[in-house]
Chains A and B, each alone.
Chain A
Amino acid sequence: MTRNIPFLLIVIALAAPFVLPGTYYIYLAELVVIYAIAALGVRQFLATTNQLVFCQSAMMAIGAYSFALTARQFGDGITGLFIGLVAGLIISGAVSMALIFPALRLRGPYFAMITIAFGWIVWRTAIEWTAVTGGDLGISAIPNFAAALGLPPSAQYVASLAVLAAVSGILWRIGNSAFGVLQLAHSVDTMALAALGVRVDHIRLIAFVAGSCIGALAGAFFAMHQAYINPNGFEVFDSVSLLVAVLIGGVSRQVGTVIGVIAIYIAPEFLHALDAYRLLFYGALVLLMLNFAREGLLRDNRSQIWRRPFHGTGAVGGLVSWLEELHPGPRHTHLKISGVQKHFGTIRALGGVDLDVRAGEVHGVVGPNGSGKSTLLDVASGLVPRDGGSVTLNDLKLPREGVDRIARYDMLRTFQKIRNFDTLTCRENVLAGIVAQRFRTSTFGIFRAMANRVATRDEERAQAILGSLGLAAHSDDLAAALPQGRRRALEIARILAAGPRVLLLDEPTSGLSRDERDEIARAILLCRDHGIAVILVDHDMELIEHLCDQVTALSVGRVIAQGSPQAVLADERFKADYFGGGERDVDA
């Protein structure tokens, strides 16, 4: 219940202008509502990608100018207003798409800088392109809904409120959908999500374009509110203010964002004595806040979906029934790696490696450190592009690059350094695997995920799969809180939940106790028995001998022995290479 108190306070604050005397409060409250809309766009992008964006006021400018110019073309009537809004959305959508599409691979400070530069360009263009924007003089006599309908100015405030409610409602609904799971997972570990086959680029792109369109919408209402726009309200500094509002309120909840906006935009109105010190005041506030209340005023690490209480019925089966449900009947998987090469600079990591795995087979890869085992998995899974050779799955040539692309062929991997969604619970980790499996295949799967809630059955399935790997007791613990061995089990549980046909395991038992190792071994055998083709890289020769049907021994990127585990482990060259004593050609 205490969770709802901030929300109630906001409702009261936004309703207050209706009863307060004069129009000043309405004016002020409308401004806050408009900035809150824009800030929700920023929050949404930040919460999905953990990336700072400094061009929201540029998006507001695009929305404001497009709206004002278009609405004027179509007369000041209500139709013109709607056409103006649509124009703002379309133009900002197109511009933000053009901006983000090439920037998908840029991260952190580079991306922040791109957005700053873009914000600057838009602002300068508004000043210089006088023929269209009116330059510093700007555009005046911008129509609004209240005037067009012949209603008092407070009607325009109601319209802005309705937009705020609609935007925040839609964002809330999406956060609650299956897409919300992916969104949250994306913010925690993008690579781990890509390894489940999810188009992480699309998630980022959608988050940016949606955030920008929301900004443009706010910009249009800003133009209506002011009835006059010029480049002044759209400087890079204004974007910084919006971002600071989001950070002050706390990224985890929309309510926090609105509170942050109120704090940033209302306080100065009542502190006119501070005008000369405004930036000093902001700067100090930001530094204090970042230093002492990192998570913002409203701290909450979990989004809507995760707080939903879970009442499992136990009626859904675990791993076995999940694997059978995904692939009923016998399978004919055949992964063929032939002549694969990889160089890092002048170092040869793989010099033409051949390897075959079929459904229901465990293929071990052994060799000393630096022999190319991990590189082989990296190349096969698309994490690093191969320089030569080919990888085919059932005669289908797999792409050269892209973990998520290859994962969509149901070829999934674990990482040598365990990757889980650390700040999500174990059940949510597995749930992310199931959701990824459901929605990754089609191009528009992400949009389907937005429209669908997480099925209770999927939550129960996640619980049951945890049980199959001995993690039932941990289902509500954060992944980061698990001991090492359990974390590995969780990673495998999540990957299996995502339904692999081919499973690539990179040293799954390193650092595990005997019992933990045996648990992993049982899971691998289970996979084998259900027709999954497994490639297992490990240093545990007992495990290799026990589990594998075929073994390949690598040395300095080349195959030196291949065959049954007994034959390879007894091979003289392998023994000399692996256990030392013999001659090694290069120390890689």
Chain B
Amino acid sequence: MEFALQTALNGFSTGAIYGLIAAGFSLTYLATRRFNFGLGMWVMLGAMLSYTLVVQIELPPLAALPLVVGISLVLGLAAEHISVRPFQSSKNDLWIVATLAVGLMLVDAAQLIWGKFPLAVDDYLGTEPWTVGGIRIRTQHVLTFTAVIAVFLAMHAFFRHSLSGAEYRAVAKDRVMAELMGINTRRAEQLAFGAAAALAGLAGFLVSPITGAEANIGTALGFKGFAVAIVGGLAAPRGVLIVGLSYGVLEALVSAYLFTGIRDILSFSIMIISLYILPFGIFGEPERERR
């Protein structure tokens, strides 16, 4: 029973990471109806940067965090410029290939810079697990969960109560109308893409002590984040968090009690089935197709 509880608690923090990545997808989806297909690779980049800043340069994690997020944001803005912007009007959804291509380049670049082997990052709040009522829990799991909840609350406050947040929601609702109202939709779209990269960077920062920093961790994380975004509803960031957490727990229990190999097969099957029966997600509302 204790083992099950401990597994489930660990699942919460992985789930929070999925939720965070999924929020990145829904952020860009809402503003542009597009998203970064290589977003998982940006999580990997965040993990790699964290390794360099925290382990190699020995910055305190609190100082490394803004750097990781900042660098991801700037690179994300640059990536938007070459992989999304040029394909605004293409009928083939070429941006999918272009964002994937950028992601693959990141993997290769990471292998060249950081090598092919996993690099260890220590838990930011100390390697000694905390013990609560007989359950030992890693500090990183606690930190991750708390940080993600804080980010979601901050995002909620931003979109509800700030003017830029309102502008963003206007762009999400109706791009043309927002443009006619004098909102700089171009900037909103670009920022959404950069912000998604920044969220991915944050996810990488949080996840690197758990998974280790390695060039190949991004793919599965990214696609699972997407699966969570789909099941929760791309247009419903709150649903995404709930689904992310539940999925994290489910996955932890499945790999603990069944076998690890089935984990990815399970998550992608859930996504496919969910797209079939609930294309707008559990928490999303169907949008009427514009003619």
Interface residues of A (CB under 8 A from B): 46, 50-52, 99, 102-103, 105-106, 108-110, 112-114, 116-118, 120-121, 124-125, 127-128, 191, 236-237, 240, 243-244, 247, 251, 276-280, 282-284, 286-287, 290-291, 294, 344, 415, 417
Contacts and interface: CB of A to CB of B under 8 A. Distances in A.
A279 B279 contact: no
A279 B111 CA distance: 10
B107 interface: yes
B91 interface: yes
Nearest to A415: B291
A291 B101 contact: no
Interface of B: 34-35, 37, 82-83, 86-87, 90-94, 96-98, 100-102, 104-105, 107-109, 111-112, 219, 223, 226-227, 230, 261-262, 264-265, 268-269, 271-272, 275-276, 279, 288, 291
A103 B275 contact: yes
Contacts of A117: 223, 227, 268-269, 271-272
Given A128-B261, A284-B105, A121 B93 contact: no
Contact of B279 (A50, A106, A240): A106
A121 to B, nearest CB: 5
Contacts of B269: 117, 121
Given A113-B226, A280-B109, A287-B82, A108 B264 contact: no
A409 to B, nearest CB: 22
Given A284-B105, A286-B97, A287-B82, 13 more contacts: A50-B91, A52-B93, A103-B276, A106-B275, A120-B268, A128-B265, A247-B92, A247-B97, A277-B108, A280-B109, A282-B104, A287-B98, A290-B101
A52 B230 CA distance: 19
Contacts of A105: 279
A291 B81 CA distance: 11
B105 A280 contact: yes
Contacts of B276: 102-103
| Interface core residue of A191, A240, A243 (most chain B CB under 10 Å) | A240
A109 B105 contact: no
Interface of B is mostly: helix
A417 B291 CA distance: 8
- 9 tightest A-B CB contacts, nearest first: A283-B105, A279-B108, A117-B268, A286-B101, A102-B276, A128-B261, A283-B101, A280-B108, A279-B104
B276 to A, nearest CB: 4
B230 A113 contact: yes
Nearest to B264: A124
A128 B262 contact: yes
| Interface core residue of A51, A125, A251, A279 (most chain B CB under 10 Å) | A279
Contacts of A113: 226, 230, 271, 275
Contacts of B107: 279
21 contacts: A46-B92, A51-B92, A52-B93, A52-B97, A108-B93, A109-B96, A110-B230, A112-B93, A117-B268, A121-B264, A124-B261, A124-B265, A127-B261, A240-B104, A280-B105, A280-B109, A283-B104, A286-B97, A290-B101, A291-B82, A294-B94
Contacts of A278: 108
A290 B100 contact: no
B106 to A, nearest CB: 8
Nearest to B104: A279
A417 B290 CA distance: 11
A127 B94 CA distance: 31
A194 to B, nearest CB: 12
Contacts of A116: 223
A244 B94 CA distance: 10
